[in-house]
């Protein structure tokens, strides 16, 4: 009783499918002779040859032999004389075809038979099982030239759910019906000796004459490596899917990052985020914005003495003499002296019952002379008391010192604050507020800035900075006061040394006014406007602000270290 091979062997054998079928005519020496030559192939031009390529279908690969092909002589199984299929297949099988009994002295043979019906196919398989061939070939008698149906097609069903494929001890293949009939006809012509074969005269010129003429077949098999492309296709598909997923993730991340960049740009433009305050990037003040910050000449108490419009270019000249006409400058200086004397007098001799409205000083003659510019200069608003530059710690000289007021209302010497704002930072050294106008985004927003800003929001929630950033803007048409208000301390709060000092100052001013026909403003010292002093003041302002590390500085340092490492790895050979 035959047994089927193990399933794992059968599954492995299924990969040994056929991919080609060829048939040729061979000249075989007789068994009882001592041939000088072995089996030779007859010239196809005067014999038979057939090649159908890959139009072969694998029905079963049970017990397929190792190797790249199955070779053997073709024969037609002979059914029992009492088998009814003998009459059924008689019209498809000629009477003089090659039988197994005609193949003497060989062990490699391949059977071929028509697939007429399930019963006849079972009969052929049973006959072949007595002497199993290397392989069995069937064909449908339909004169077709296309590849037969696959092995799971109902036409190959023998009523046992495909069990016959495992019961046989040899592989089974199928070829198109037209080629099967052609081979069957060739088996009837080349089943005897050489003298009975077609073109016998031509064959005798190349052969001895006692050879047997038989049709041989070769069934090419797919090697295990032939199945690797399917594995490669699977791997390529997986890699392609991973690449697609990576591309989609990358596009999604870029889209999210783009939205975050635009969101941060909008918030920076709206004044909700200060990049420098968060320690993200140092921002410098452009020259055009710096020129819009007002310049003043203040008196000794820190009040406005002269307003210099920010739209006009202000040049600091170390040698500088005023370019105003002498009479106009003298008039302004004299008026400023009288204003100062008037205010001091009000301080020394206040009224007994001052009304709220009388607390404000009367408008000075200077302000009256500039009523035509009322759209540009209005009543000064009170601000901080600042009589000393916070950077150089020098006192402001009344009627002489030119100061620059930042949007936060802190004042500095222009030579002390300008270089710092242009080169180092946009923050006020005193209050650490940005001097840039609201809605100004001076730099390109990068992903590192977005990460730092998001980290800052996680550490401490960003409070509403609308009120703070609202002060970042300034009105060039409305100069603000530089003193601590228009009200001076009452007489009761002043001490005797203070009164004595004020009296001495009044005497000096009167003496100066009486002894000179016009008052000239002494030119500023050269030291204040020297580059060395400006550089020193810039460093002091940086020290006041605090040298905090910025992300942009860290990135530049990292890039510099990387380039330095690369240069050390590849030194130039001199």
pLDDT at site 299 = 61
Contact 406, 432 (CB under 8 A): no
Q: Under the phi-then-psi rule, with left for phi > 0, alpha for psi from -120 to 50, and beta for the rest, what region is 556?
A: alpha
- 520-544 pLDDT, tens per residue? 434 444 455 567 777 777 777 777 7
Question: Do 206 and 336 have their domain in common?
Answer: no
- 57-71 pLDDT, tens per residue? 999 988 887 778 899
Residue-wise over 452-484: b if at least 16 C-beta within 10 A, else e?
bbeebeeeeeeeebeebbeebebeeeebbbbbb
Asked if the structure places residue 571 within a domain, the reply is no
Domain count, the chain: 2
pLDDT at site 13 = 41
Of 200, 222, 244, the residue at which a domain comes to its end is 222
- 558-571 pLDDT, tens per residue? 666 666 555 555 55
Contact 434, 277 (CB under 8 A): yes
Question: Do 195 and 290 have their domain in common?
Answer: no
Q: d(Cα 277, Cα 264) in Å, to the nearest integer?
A: 15
Tell me the pLDDT band of 147, cut-offs 50, 70 and 90.
very high
pLDDT at site 187 = 94
pLDDT at site 24 = 94
Asked if the structure places residue 198 within a domain, the reply is yes
Of 156, 190, 222, the residue at which a domain comes to its end is 222
pLDDT for 51 beyond 90: yes
Tell me, what DSSP letter sits at residue 395? B
Question: Do 46 and 144 have their domain in common?
Answer: yes
Tell me the pLDDT band of 398, cut-offs 50, 70 and 90.
confident
State which of 137-146, 163-172, 329-338 shows the largest mean pLDDT: 137-146
Asked if the structure places residue 574 within a domain, the reply is no
Mean pLDDT, to the nearest integer, of 12-37? 74
pLDDT at site 193 = 83
- 480-496 pLDDT, tens per residue? 434 333 333 443 334 44
Tell me the pLDDT band of 227, cut-offs 50, 70 and 90.
low
pLDDT for 330 beyond 60: no
pLDDT for 355 beyond 60: no
Question: Do 192 and 320 have their domain in common?
Answer: no
Q: If residue 189 lies in a helix (H) or strand (E), which one and from where to where? A: helix 177-189
pLDDT for 180 beyond 90: yes
pLDDT for 87 beyond 50: yes
pLDDT: is 472 or 358 the higher one?
472
Asked if the structure places residue 237 within a domain, the reply is no
Asked if the structure places residue 396 within a domain, the reply is yes
pLDDT at site 224 = 63
- Residue 208: which of 216, 217, 200, 198 has the closest Cα? 200
Question: Do 201 and 280 have their domain in common?
Answer: no
Asked if the structure places residue 413 within a domain, the reply is yes
Question: Do 81 and 180 have their domain in common?
Answer: yes
Mean pLDDT, to the nearest integer, of 317-339? 44
Mean pLDDT, to the nearest integer, of 2-29? 65
pLDDT: is 27 or 475 the higher one?
27
pLDDT at site 99 = 92
pLDDT: is 339 or 255 the higher one?
255
Asked if the structure places residue 307 within a domain, the reply is yes
Of 207, 222, 237, the residue at which a domain comes to its end is 222
Task: Locate 532 and state its tokens.
Answer: 């060395």
Mean pLDDT, to the nearest integer, of 150-162? 90
Question: Do 280 and 144 have their domain in common?
Answer: no
Question: Do 39 and 181 have their domain in common?
Answer: yes
How does the average pLDDT of the chain come out, rounded? Answer: 71
Q: d(Cα 309, Cα 416) in Å, to the nearest integer?
A: 20
Mean pLDDT, to the nearest integer, of 81-103? 91
pLDDT for 26 beyond 70: yes
pLDDT at site 286 = 85
pLDDT for 245 beyond 70: yes
- 404-440 pLDDT, tens per residue? 888 888 888 888 888 888 888 888 888 888 888 876 7
Question: Do 213 and 295 have their domain in common?
Answer: no
Question: Do 299 and 421 have their domain in common?
Answer: yes
Question: Do 206 and 294 have their domain in common?
Answer: no
- Rounded to the nearest 10 degrees, the angle between the axes of helix 496-515 and helix 326-348 is 150
Question: Do 396 and 470 have their domain in common?
Answer: yes
pLDDT at site 430 = 86
What is the span of the domain harbouring residue 520? 270-348+382-564
Lowest mean pLDDT among 326-340, 390-404, 472-486: 472-486
Asked if the structure places residue 234 within a domain, the reply is no
pLDDT: is 3 or 38 the higher one?
38
pLDDT for 379 beyond 60: no
Query: pTM for this structure?
Result: 0.43
238 CB burial (10 A radius; 0-12, 13-18, 19+): exposed
């Amino acid at each position: 009783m035959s047994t089927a091979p193990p399933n794992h062997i059968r599954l492995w054998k299924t990969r040994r499918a056929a991919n080609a079928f060829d048939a040729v005519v061979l000249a075989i020496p007789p068994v009882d002779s001592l041939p000088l030559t072995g089996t030779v192939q007859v010239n196809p031009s005067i014999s038979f040859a057939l090649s159908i390529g890959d139009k072969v279908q694998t029905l079963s690969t049970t017990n397929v032999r190792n190797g790249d092909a199955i070779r053997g002589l073709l024969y037609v199984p002979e059914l029992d004389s009492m088998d009814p299929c003998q009459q059924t297949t008689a019209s498809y099988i000629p009477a003089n075809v090659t039988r197994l009994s005609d193949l003497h002295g060989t062990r490699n043979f391949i059977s071929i038979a028509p697939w007429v019906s399930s019963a006849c196919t079972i009969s052929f398989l049973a006959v072949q099982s007595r002497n199993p061939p290397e392989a069995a070939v069937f064909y449908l008698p339909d004169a077709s030239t296309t590849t037969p149906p696959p092995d799971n097609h109902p036409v190959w069903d023998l009523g046992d759910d495909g069990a016959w494929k495992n019961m046989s001890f040899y592989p089974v293949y199928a070829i198109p019906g037209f080629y099967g009939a052609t081979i069957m006809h060739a088996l009837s012509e080349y089943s005897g000796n050489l003298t009975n074969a077609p073109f016998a005269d031509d064959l005798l010129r190349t052969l001895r004459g006692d050879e047997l003429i038989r049709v041989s077949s070769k069934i090419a098999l797919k090697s295990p490596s032939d199945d690797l492309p399917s594995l490669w296709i699977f791997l390529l598909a997986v890699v392609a899917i991973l690449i697609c997923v990576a591309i989609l993730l990358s596009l999604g991340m870029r889209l999210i990052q783009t939205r975050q960049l635009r969101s941060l740009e909008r918030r920076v433009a709206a004044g909700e985020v200060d990049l420098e305050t968060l320690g993200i990037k140092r921002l410098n003040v452009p020259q055009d914005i710096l020129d819009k910050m007002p310049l003043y000449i203040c008196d000794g108490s820190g009040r406005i003495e002269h307003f210099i419009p920010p739209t006009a270019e202000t040049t600091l000249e170390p040698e500088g003499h005023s370019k105003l006409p002498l009479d106009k400058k003298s008039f302004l200086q004299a008026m400023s002296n009288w204003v100062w004397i008037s205010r001091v007098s009000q301080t020394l001799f206040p009224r007994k019952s001052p009304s709220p409205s009388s607390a404000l000083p009367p408008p000075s003659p200077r302000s009256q002379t500039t009523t035509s510019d009322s759209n540009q200069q209005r009543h000064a608003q009170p601000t901080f008391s600042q009589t000393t530059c916070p950077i150089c710690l020098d006192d402001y000289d009344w009627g002489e010192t030119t100061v620059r007021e930042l949007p936060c209302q802190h004042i500095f010497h222009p030579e002390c604050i300008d270089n710092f704002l242009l080169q180092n930072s946009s923050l006020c050294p005193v209050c650490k507020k940005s001097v840039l106008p609201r809605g100004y985004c001076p730099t390109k927003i990068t992903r590192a800035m977005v990460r730092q800003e998001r980290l800052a929001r996680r550490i401490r929630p960003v409070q509403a900075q609308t009120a703070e950033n609202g002060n970042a803007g300034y009105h060039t048409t409305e100069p603000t006061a530089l003193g601590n208000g228009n009200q001076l301390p009452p007489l009761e709060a002043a001490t005797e040394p203070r009164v004595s000092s004020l009296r001495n100052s009044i005497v000096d001013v009167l003496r100066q006014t009486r002894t000179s026909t016009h008052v000239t403003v002494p030119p500023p010292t050269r030291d204040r406007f020297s580059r060395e002093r400006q550089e020193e003041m810039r460093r002091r302002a940086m020290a006041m602000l605090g040298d905090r590390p910025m992300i942009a500085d860290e990135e530049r340092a990292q890039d510099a270290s990387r380039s330095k490492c690369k240069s050390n790895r590849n030194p130039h050979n001199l």
